[in-house]
A and B are shown apart, each in its own frame.
Chain A
Amino acid sequence: MNAERPHWMTATEAGAALRAGEISVRELTEDALAWIEESDTVTRSWVTVTPEIALAEADAADRELAAGIDRGPLHGIGYGVKDLIEVAGVEMAVGSRAVAGFVPRGDAAAVGRLRDAGAICLGKTVTHEFAFGSTSPPARNPWDGVSVPGGSSGGSAAVVAAGQAPLAVGTDCCCSVRNPAALNGICGIRPTVGRVSNSGAVPASLSMDTVGPLCRSVRDVALALTAMSAYDATDPRSSSTAVPDFAAELDRAPGDLDGVRVGIPESHFFDHLEPDIAARLDLTIDLLEDLGAEVRAVDIPRARHASTIFFVIVVAEQAALQHDQLRDPERPRLGDDVQAWAEFGNLVLAKDYVRAQQMRELVITDWARAFESVDAILTPATAAVAKPPLEDPVRIEVGYPDGYVEDVLQAYGRFLMPVSLAGLPGLVVPCGRDAKGLPIGAQVVAPAFRESTAFRVGEALERALDLPPVRPPAVSAVAAGPVLDNDPTPPAQVRR
């Protein structure tokens, strides 16, 4: 174990320290809880911290280890849960005043799997309301303490990047695991639809949602995905496809990428990029070749329609899910942005929803054709790095050197939505930082149920890039002294 405080360890490192007897689960958990207390003044990313539950689970985990019962690599590892995924007995607000006072009776399927794996629930993390946005107020990005952490799993990404937990659970409909992972300089995967059960996770979309882990290394993501994945009869889209031990597959894979064919899309995915992102992606593609990969051009020609397809489908599905909420004037309103999206879904004709689904099929066909000649496809994760909210906490404009201007929702989602439409797995790995030190991410897309390929490419890149450990300056400064807070947005109401 190194000289740093234990909360900075990855799940893999913490697991090794626990089994070497260098630290107990209680010590690990107490340090994490103390660090949350100290540094969430910057990240504002916890809705609820549950020390009583965490310490009781930690003591139980210690007793089991002492008795020779080892539940596997996540035994004793702390995690946060996006506050739209159920944890038994812990209030869940879905980021909305419309859901006040709801306390789930049971765990979401993915949380139950983590509990069975011996992991320690530290609390609930900030989500954009009903997972319908990319800014996740009031959470802040730990790299500068001012910018947004992305979303909708912005809180989950921020707590992992800030060293408050080595693992957090998020959901990804449009892009909600992947853009926060990229903007916070960590790893996260949107698994294949059906790999992880959605049961117990409040849906943003009935046809695109997934539950996925965020961690500070590819290997940790592989460990977490293995633990979270299983067939679940309560989720109609759950798949009985065999779940590999993803970390063991990484152990068996050679460290290089000899024989791996990686596609680089010719259109859409490299349009309107911030220059530092373009430069880091160029370097990352060069690294693929250095690692022995065969880099080929591919095309997803209909990907440019993905945003339109996505919004037609998702606003219609959200309107259906919010039907009762929208028609009852007695209920507390949703936030202005989410209310507007849900209302708007009522104005989309059924015919246009079907046309969007037909168009989606063409995008799926494009991906299938591309994967006939490659094993994985690399794209930027986002077109822009994390931005500060100025006058509006959710609407931020992003401009590019070519004069193109778009909303942050597009900047953080337009390379990720084409993957969501096809139900494919997408792994985000950090690939550098911009001139201001803000993280840049790359996305590795794989065919359905071939997450192992994405992990292999991602870990090879992680090793070759050899980026410094994730130590975001704004939270690291907390340990050195008080941080000036000139941000007018009030912190979350944290219940302890």
Chain B
Amino acid sequence: MQRPSTDIVKHLADCAELPLRPESVAGHAEHLGELLAAMEEWDGLGFSFDFDEGTFSYVQMPVQYRPRKGSE
């Protein structure tokens, strides 16, 4: 896993119109690298579309719905 450069962090902060202090950038780049490395372990778990054998699959997001009073 290649760590994201501080330029990428600055770019993302610019996109978010985030007035980032210069001294924060290196720390954010390091943490982002750690997080992305941890997320690499999720590859292959079937989040993306898989069209195969006449069907397709993907992983859903959790349903947060709770029944409202009177709707049951």
Contact = CB atoms under 8 A, between A and B. Distances in A.
Interface of A: 193-194, 207, 231, 233, 236-241, 305, 307-308, 311-312, 319, 326-327, 329, 340, 343-344, 346-348, 352, 354-362, 364, 423
Contacts of A359: 42, 45, 47, 59
A29 B36 CA distance: 52
B35 A308 contact: yes
A99 B38 CA distance: 34
Interface in B26-66: 27-28, 31-32, 35-36, 38-39, 41-42, 45, 47, 58-62, 64, 66
Contact of B19 (A241, A307, A327, A348): A327
A288 B63 CA distance: 34
A361 B59 CA distance: 8
Given A311-B35, A312-B39, A357-B62, A346 B13 contact: yes
Interface of B: 9, 12-13, 16-20, 24, 27-28, 31-32, 35-36, 38-39, 41-42, 45, 47, 58-62, 64, 66-70, 72
A361 B39 contact: no
A405 B72 CA distance: 49
B56 to A, nearest CB: 15
Closest 7 CB pairs of A and B: A346-B16, A358-B59, A308-B38, A357-B61, A240-B69, A239-B66, A194-B66
B28 A361 contact: no
A237 B65 CA distance: 7
A465 B69 CA distance: 41
A238 B20 CA distance: 37
B18 A346 contact: yes
27 contacts: A207-B62, A236-B66, A239-B67, A240-B68, A241-B67, A308-B41, A319-B16, A327-B19, A340-B28, A343-B24, A344-B28, A344-B31, A346-B12, A346-B18, A347-B13, A347-B16, A347-B32, A357-B61, A357-B62, A358-B58, A358-B59, A358-B60, A359-B42, A359-B47, A360-B62, A362-B45, A423-B62
A343 B60 contact: no
A329 B19 contact: yes
Nearest to B31: A344
Contact of A207 (B16, B18, B59, B64): B64
B59 A352 contact: no
Contacts of B61: 354, 357-358, 360-361
B35 A340 contact: no
Kindly name the residue among A193, A307, A361 whose own CB sees the greatest number of chain B CB atoms within 10 A. Answer: A361
A380 to B, nearest CB: 22
Contacts of A360: 61-62
Contacts of A207: 62, 64
Nearest to A194: B66
A400 B36 CA distance: 26
Nearest to A312: B35
Nearest to B27: A340
Nearest to B59: A358
Contacts of A361: 59-62
A343 B42 contact: no
A389 B43 CA distance: 37
B42 A305 contact: yes
Contacts of A308: 35, 38-39, 41
A326 B18 contact: yes
B71 to A, nearest CB: 8
B7 to A, nearest CB: 13
Nearest to A358: B59
Contact of B20 (A343, A348, A356, A423): A343
A207 B36 CA distance: 22
A362 B16 CA distance: 30
A233 B39 contact: no
A312 to B, nearest CB: 7
Nearest to A341: B31
A352 B62 contact: no
A356 B69 CA distance: 30
Given A240-B72, A352-B39, A347 B28 contact: yes
Contact of A327 (B17, B27, B68): B17
Contacts of A193: 66
A355 B44 CA distance: 12
A361 B58 CA distance: 11
Given A240-B70, A343-B13, 14 more contacts: A233-B68, A236-B66, A237-B66, A240-B67, A240-B68, A241-B67, A312-B35, A340-B24, A343-B18, A347-B9, A348-B35, A359-B42, A362-B45, A362-B59
A379 B52 CA distance: 39
Contacts of A357: 61-62
A98 B69 CA distance: 37
Given A308-B38, A355-B42, A362-B59, A237 B16 contact: no
A423 B18 CA distance: 32
